[in-house]
Amino acid sequence: MSNVFPPFEPEKEAHPEKSVPKKRRAIGFRGREVPIRILIPSMFTLLALCAGLTAIRMAIEHRFDIAIAAIVIAAILDALDGRVARLLKATSRFGAELDSLADFVNFGVAPAIIVFTWALDGLRSMGWIVVLVFSICASLRLARFNVALDSEQPAWKGEYFVGVPAPAAALIVMLPLYLDGIGIPDVAALAPVILGYTLLIAFLMVSFVPTYSGKLFGQRVARVYVLPVFVLGALFVAVLLTYPYLTLTFGTLAYLAVIPVSFMSYRRHETKATRSASAQNGSRKRKNTPKTDEQRPTA
């Protein structure tokens, strides 16, 4: 072997024997060199993975404020890596698989460990079973999301996720810690309530409840709103750093309150699409129906 490491091939199919032959692109990688822009999104993903692993360590050491901060950083990096990949035209199968694996650790394992070490360890086996259920639901949620990427759907469905996404579930499942952080007494003592709340968020991940995805929000900003967007972004970061627990509490409650709104909005879009499809099918049937003797014009 001349090289210890195999060549990096981000576009290589997972099962080459099952893949359909593709036409050679006019512009590709020159020789054995890979453009740096291809690596940048994966670096964001690896940084997010480091943050998630750090959150697990901080939870074991009972330094929950740093653990929560690490999960927030991982969520921010997770939101950036996909957008950076599309911006740099550096999307790849390798990056998608790496992102999914990192998401499981960051948003399926790390928050479960945090909640368990903070409040559920006193319930022993029951508490551990609940965090196992949360992690399993996160893995199933991510697997279902990856499968859904290969299916064609109407454009309006791109505005919604099926179930609560893993990053959002990781942030909202830690709501009891936020409440404790803003000074509400004896929150950790309500272990049975926290156990039920954790189960609820786990089931929301694998449910078919539609939630807003936010993918189509903010892709383009009018020129007159560019400066206000900068100001609001800086204000949000300042508030989050100054009042982290209060900001996360209000953000979690707002997200939970929006779920019924997104469900009703999805139903309206679905009803409209169903009626439109029925109308199109009806018009096609009328066009294809042969005319009877009474309907045929006389000579």
Predicted local confidence at residue 275, as pLDDT: 80
Closest CA to 198 of 108, 115, 103: 115
DSSP class per residue in 188-229? TT-HHHHHHHHHHHHHHHHS--EEE--TTTTSS--GGGHHHH
Place of tokens 């690596």: 39
Give CB contacts under 8 A, 24+ apart, made by 233-241. 240/72
For 296, the 3-state DSSP assignment is: coil
Asked if 46 contacts 101 with a C-beta cutoff of 8 angstroms, the reply is no
| Fold of the domain built from segment(s) 34-272 | Four Helix Bundle (Hemerythrin (Met), subunit A) (1.20.120)
Domain boundaries defined on the chain: 34-272
Under 8 Å between Cβ of 201 and 172: yes
- Calpha distance 272→104 (Å, rounded): 35
Determine the Cα–Cα distance for residues 165 and 205; give it in Å rounded to an integer. 6
Q: In 3D, which of 132, 143, 67, 140 has the Cα closest to residue 106? A: 67
Q: Which pLDDT score is estimated for 35?
A: 79
Tell me the angle at which helices 64-87 and 244-288 cross, rounded to the nearest 10 degrees: 40
Q: What is the pLDDT of residue 255?
A: 93
Beta bridge partners of 210: 162
- Residue 150: predicted pLDDT: 64
Place of tokens 């509490």: 249
* pLDDT for position 32: 67
Neighbouring-strand partners of residue 160: 212
Task: Output DSSP code: residue 23.
Answer: P
Angle, helix 93-104 to helix 64-87, in steps of 10 degrees: 170
Using the structure block, give the residue that is written with the tokens 């790496």.
98
pLDDT of residue 18: 45
Q: Residue 298: its pLDDT value, please?
A: 46
Per-residue pLDDT 10s for the chain (299 aa) are: 556 555 656 555 444 444 444 444 434 455 567 778 888 888 999 999 999 999 999 999 999 999 999 999 999 999 888 888 888 887 878 888 888 899 999 999 999 999 999 988 888 899 999 999 999 999 999 888 877 766 677 777 778 888 899 999 999 999 999 999 998 988 888 999 999 999 999 999 999 888 888 665 556 677 787 788 889 889 988 999 999 999 999 999 999 999 999 888 888 888 887 787 777 766 666 666 665 554 554 44
User: Which tokens go with 29?
Assistant: 């990688």
Could you give the CA distance from residue 120 to residue 126 in angstroms, rounded to a whole number? 8
pLDDT confidence of residue 15: 46
